[in-house]
Homo-oligomer: A and B are copies of this chain.
């Protein structure tokens, strides 16, 4: 058993002083108690002066290799760049990866995520095979590279194994997409099963309604229900996808996902930027989650998600760093709220707008809600849960002026991940001073 005694601990009851966290040898929070009233003074207490411990952030949606593109796609690739021209640059980067380079890139990027305050990551992993599409001798060689990088960096990884079959509705994969594809949904599920049966935290991730046909969706959704695995899928990021879906199926992407049996409480829709009221109604009915990725959605010019309508329908929201162009959970959450304020031209959208309402906090979207989307028991500092924390420097100049009632507001509106000076995963300090 070890004991941490930071100046403050943020628990579901708010910011606490004089609080000690006892952590068992397997990295689980054993108890949280008041140092002043505790009968027996614990031995072996690690004081953390000037630090407030908060739950670590959960990064629900990452394509780790895209970190290599940071800053390299902002000059014109063609006249009038869009999401689709950016995608060509991303495919070129994906073509170059080997298990070795992926490992190195992922290990460094996960270190950067930890330093930014993410203690868990959902890795939406789609570069599975050799560049021409042939499987590696070890079919999960690329997945294993990511898992090894995660272990080495110390971050909690949920591997969201991407299913990919085609370039578009009934179109064979393009050259740059071949290494994303399995030959059949059975081959894909065999790879998932190999990892799952080894105890690797996995989810399934049919890439999108463009890339995955109906019978794959049905088989993958069945598998996820059988084993209670998260199912993540991109939808409604770009208008062109919606138009194509309407042309081929006469419905919107989320309506199609429902037809295919892919909506449920374990489903997380990535983006939902252009979801309409019918689609939002379906997500509510099936108790599905939406993951927004504000820095990436800004970078790619996707648009602003219908935050007010999603929240009015009680749809849980969480965040992802997606392209990893920018790693900062505080900036993601601030700009989710600010984008929503700009869309609706009022001051409070994601956070409580009723006087006296406890309401959700930006922190909750970035922690608890994300943990739920990844099927993780984390995101709150409470006994029985993993000791996944960030340490905030309460004396940083950006934080000056906080008091205990609005500590989180000063953090989310006035600061950035630069005030996060340490990150703990499973009771172990994996980043920081």
Contacts and interface: CB of A to CB of B under 8 A. Distances in A.
Contact of A347 (B81, B338, B341): B81
Contacts of A415: 326
A79 B353 CA distance: 7
Chain B CB count within 10 A is highest, among A83, A354, A357, A397, for A397
Nearest to A301: B341
Given A300-B347, A401-B71, A406-B74, A81 B413 contact: no
A166 to B, nearest CB: 25
Interface in A312-329: 325-328
Contacts of A331: 331, 416
How many copies are assembled?
A: 2
B71 A344 contact: no
Contact of A348 (B74, B239, B298): B74
Interface stretch (A108-116, A119-127, A258-266): A108-116
A72 B409 contact: yes
Interface residues of A, number: 71
A152 interface: no
Interface of A: 67-68, 70-72, 74-76, 78-83, 85-86, 108, 111-112, 115, 239, 295, 297-304, 325-328, 331, 334-335, 337-339, 341-342, 344-348, 351-357, 397-398, 400-402, 406-407, 409-418
25 contacts: A67-B401, A71-B407, A71-B410, A71-B413, A71-B414, A74-B413, A75-B406, A76-B348, A76-B357, A80-B353, A81-B347, A86-B347, A295-B338, A298-B342, A299-B338, A300-B341, A301-B342, A301-B344, A301-B347, A303-B342, A304-B342, A325-B413, A331-B331, A335-B335, A416-B417
